[in-house]
Structure 1
């Protein structure tokens, strides 16, 4: 859209938004009229098709930045490019994340570094560069996608659980630092979300365990979730959109569970 759009509408930057939860969040913010910066991995043609579709469906300006979440200079460039193009940055959603599962004594050191880098340090770098502009305009929203594993642990996920607990601490600290400037920082902690990544694991799990796919869903994936239902990507997205609204101005430093009761146990 034209320059009037870029100067008046709010702008959201969402990391890890070429698929899954991040893509649903990008869609929800675009539907609400935000200019959008997406970021993430994938096939270049597919990413361009996704970007163009969001822009066309919602008649908003959508950009893509390929920043590697392990490269602080690329993250800085992504924030800079967002500001340069749109003239502002109002909402940052730190969603990029990866997983690896192994007992700690067998956990590869390079996997630890990669998960801490992508799931935790990338959020630090994004926030660090986004905050000055938000503070200057006296309005900003930082939304960190943590996990139920930001509050409780599961075996064999040492790096992921450590990173998500770290995100919880980072969220609280950032919330305190800029509270008087209209900038809030909160974390959403979903339980198991039915993403493409999770769906793909179900047949493999069924095969390796010798049980049905339905049994994998109920007894393995949703074992900890009292509702026995997955969180949907749309539910996470609408929660993020609410946290970005003026109604949520006094929600700050909150660690918000969305896990069907998992962490209530």
Structure 2
């Protein structure tokens, strides 16, 4: 943790903080001085990241909404990042899987924001940053639960922005395209098998096909965007979506 920085004295909760985008956010926010709580269902990985940033690890499965409610939500910064993916056509999509994804990626962020906002309001300062996706703005086939959850998250984020605007709280989404994370690497492997392609071909021909910038986004790039939204420079930025999709949505 930094001895000084724009977030010194601020406490941040990062969900899904043990790997990928969440891990990068934990490292970046700690570098700016924040005291970071790393929440993840992988207890050991969360402890590793927390030790790295001088923060605290919390083992929690956020698809259990009662567990989400039970967290210590006296935080100044909430980064809703935890997520998962399931790929199937709507008529074959498992109903329990659809519900689980909506719980984790929409209901849990609502519960966490609901619990954190009173502390933010009392302090007159807060930042809610929702890790959305290009799929919060666009749809792709076979990802009904993920797309529905991210679209819902966009709406929730805007409502929080409107309610918190007069109380020093901003709420925004960050919308990356495919990021080099364990979740995406798993999708690459699955699609390679399904389509009979190499993993490089999956990235080039499927994942990067809609984007103008032909490369995966690095987690640290997303974390930089999150840190900027938490910075004094972004005090007037709220209710919006910071799109970093390599030009995908420009079409």
Q: TM-score range by the shorter chain?
A: over 0.9
Paired residues in the alignment total 245
1:102 aligns with 2:83: no
The answer (yes or no) to whether the contact 1:90–1:140 under 8 Å persists in 2 is yes
* Residue 52 (structure 2) aligns with: 53
Residue segments in structure 2 that go unaligned for 5+ positions in a row: 2-7
Q: Secondary structure at the match of 2:72?
A: helix
Report which of the two has the higher share of helix. Answer: 1
Judged with a 3 Å threshold, the aligned counterparts in structure 2 of structure 1 residues 102 and 131 are, in CA distance, closer, same or farther, namely same
Residue segments in structure 1 that go unaligned for 5+ positions in a row: 2-7, 56-61, 84-88
Q: Which has the higher Rg, Structure 1 or Structure 2? A: 1
Alignment of 1:173-192 (within 5 A): 173-192=159-178
The answer (yes or no) to whether the contact 2:158–2:172 under 8 Å persists in 1 is yes
The answer (yes or no) to whether the contact 1:79–1:126 under 8 Å persists in 2 is no
Instruction: State the shift of 1:204 in Å.
Output: 4.4
* Residue 57 (structure 2) aligns with: 64
* Residue 241 (structure 1) aligns with: 227
1:77 aligns with 2:66: no
Q: Secondary structure at the match of 2:85?
A: coil
The answer (yes or no) to whether the contact 2:65–2:103 under 8 Å persists in 1 is no
Instruction: State the shift of 1:198 in Å.
Output: 1.9
Whole-Å separation in 2 of the counterparts to 1:211 and 1:72: 39
Whole-Å separation in 2 of the counterparts to 1:47 and 1:235: 21
1:138-168 CA-to-partner distances (Å, cap 9, x unmatched) read 1000000111011110001111101100001
Instruction: State the shift of 1:229 in Å.
Output: 1.1
* Residue 18 (structure 1) aligns with: 18
Q: Secondary structure at the match of 1:217?
A: helix
Judged with a 3 Å threshold, the aligned counterparts in structure 2 of structure 1 residues 121 and 214 are, in CA distance, closer, same or farther, namely same
Moved beyond 6 Å, runs of 4+: none
Judged with a 3 Å threshold, the aligned counterparts in structure 2 of structure 1 residues 205 and 101 are, in CA distance, closer, same or farther, namely closer
Match of 2:198 among 205, 212, 228: 212
1:203-249 CA-to-partner distances (Å, cap 9, x unmatched) read 44334423333221110111111111111100100000000011100
